[in-house]
């Protein structure tokens, strides 16, 4: 399994929240496995959450599940969980997520991508339980053999969910490939939909240390102490399966949360003709 395929579940991000902590607080708290995705690299069913333009690059059918377990007050609790399935460029997902204010809600998304490795676009519609719907629109292109660029507009319409507004945001991103794809790196940022102050920057990298194993890390820096910490990820995959384990170590030490993602995968390209 190449690193480009493995880093769908295994890419890492370095998050730096900027001067407006209210903008960061108005985003959903995502599962750890989902938060480890690199926008320019994802190309399987999880692209429906992160960058629907990546769905156009898929030649697989997959069924995936993920969960996040958080620790706090000496206890561990199942905080988030979800399922997703895809067939080529079409994907559907469901997640049970926390929303601002401490409550939780179900989130459903249906997405589609069109294009190829050189240029692709995608669109996804989200339905929030106890709230409104929104749209994601994405573009992705290959600038050079080693550089990919993408732009995603998330939560168009800024839906109100359980009394909290989920602010729409732009995510411009650049991804880089080294050593024939054995190392992937990237940088991306969050810009409010009103094109105000940059609220977050993320950057990171992962490396394939064996044909089926990927190891990656993410450091998070923020004015919001609760968002600071280190994420460590290990991924494993083959032709018919893939999975990853993620651990979050918040600032101050200790284990703050663990996440897992696993999928069954089928190739839809069919047998080659001779």
d(CA 149, CA 132): 30
Number of other CB atoms surrounding residue 196 within 10 Å: 11
CB 238 within 8 A of CB 34: no
pLDDT value, residue 104: 78
241 band by pLDDT with thresholds 50, 70 and 90: very high
Does residue 274 fall inside a structural domain?
A: no
d(CA 227, CA 221): 7
pLDDT digits (tens, 9 = 90+) for 80-104: 899 999 998 999 999 998 766 667 7
Does residue 273 fall inside a structural domain?
A: no
Q: Strand 147-156 to strand 75-87: parallel, antiparallel, or no bridges (unpaired)?
A: unpaired
Query: What's the whole-number mean pLDDT along residues 246-254?
Result: 86
pLDDT of 146 higher than 90: yes
pLDDT value, residue 149: 96
pLDDT digits (tens, 9 = 90+) for 52-84: 999 997 788 999 999 999 887 778 888 889 999
pLDDT value, residue 43: 84
Q: Tokens standing for 230?
A: 């280190």
pLDDT digits (tens, 9 = 90+) for 3-15: 444 334 333 333 3
User: Structural domain tally of the chain?
Assistant: 1
Tell me 273's DSSP state. Answer: P
pLDDT value, residue 22: 37
Q: Residue 273 half-sphere exposure, CB side, CA atoms within 13 Å?
A: 0
pLDDT digits (tens, 9 = 90+) for 154-168: 999 988 887 778 889
Per mean pLDDT, which range of 14-18, 64-68, 114-118, 210-214 is the poorest?
14-18
pLDDT value, residue 236: 92
Q: Strand 241-250 to strand 75-87: parallel, antiparallel, or no bridges (unpaired)?
A: unpaired
pLDDT of 267 higher than 90: no
β-strand partners of 181: none
pLDDT of 125 higher than 90: yes
Burial of 26 (0-12, 13-18, 19+ CB in 10 A): buried
Rg (C-alpha) for the chain, rounded Å, is 17
Tell which residue, 107, 111, 175, has the closest CA to residue 138. Answer: 111
Does residue 272 fall inside a structural domain?
A: no
Domain span holding position 52: 3-267
Does residue 221 fall inside a structural domain?
A: yes
Q: What is the CATH number of the domain that holds 119?
A: 2.40.160
Does residue 13 fall inside a structural domain?
A: yes
205 band by pLDDT with thresholds 50, 70 and 90: confident
Averaged confidence pLDDT in the chain? 81
pLDDT of 29 higher than 70: no
Does residue 203 fall inside a structural domain?
A: yes
β-strand partners of 20: none
Query: What's the whole-number mean pLDDT along residues 237-262?
Result: 89
Does residue 111 fall inside a structural domain?
A: yes
d(CA 8, CA 95): 18
Q: How much of the chain exceeds pLDDT 70, in percent?
A: 83
């Amino acid at each position: 399994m190449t690193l480009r395929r493995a880093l769908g579940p295994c890419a890492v991000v370095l998050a730096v929240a900027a001067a407006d902590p209210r903008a960061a607080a108005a985003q959903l708290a995502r599962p750890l496995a989902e938060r480890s995705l690199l926008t320019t690299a994802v190309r399987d069913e999880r692209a429906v959450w992160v960058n629907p333009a990546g769905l156009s690059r898929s030649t697989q059918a997959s069924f995936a599940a993920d969960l996040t377990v958080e620790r706090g007050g000496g206890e561990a609790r199942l905080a988030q969980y979800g399922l997703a399935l895809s067939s080529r460029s079409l994907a559907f997902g469901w997640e049970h997520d926390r929303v601002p204010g401490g409550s939780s809600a179900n989130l459903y998304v249906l997405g589609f991508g069109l294009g190829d490795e050189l240029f692709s676009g995608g669109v996804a519609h989200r339905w929030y339980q106890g709230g409104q719907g929104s749209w994601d629109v994405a573009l992705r292109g290959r600038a050079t053999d080693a550089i990919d660029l993408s732009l995603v507009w998330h939560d168009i319409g800024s839906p109100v969910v359980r009394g909290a507004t989920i602010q729409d945001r732009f995510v411009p991103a650049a991804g880089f490939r080294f050593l024939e794809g054995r190392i992937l790196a990237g940088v991306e940022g969050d810009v409010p939909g009103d094109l105000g102050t940059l609220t977050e920057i993320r950057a990171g990298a992962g490396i394939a240390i064996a044909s089926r194993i990927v190891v990656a890390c993410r450091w998070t820096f923020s004015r919001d102490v609760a968002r600071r910490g280190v994420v460590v990820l290990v991924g494993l995959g083959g032709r018919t399966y893939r999975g990853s384990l993620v651990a979050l170590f918040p600032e101050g030490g200790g284990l703050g949360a663990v996440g897992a993602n696993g999928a069954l995968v089928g190739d839809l390209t069919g047998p080659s003709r001779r």
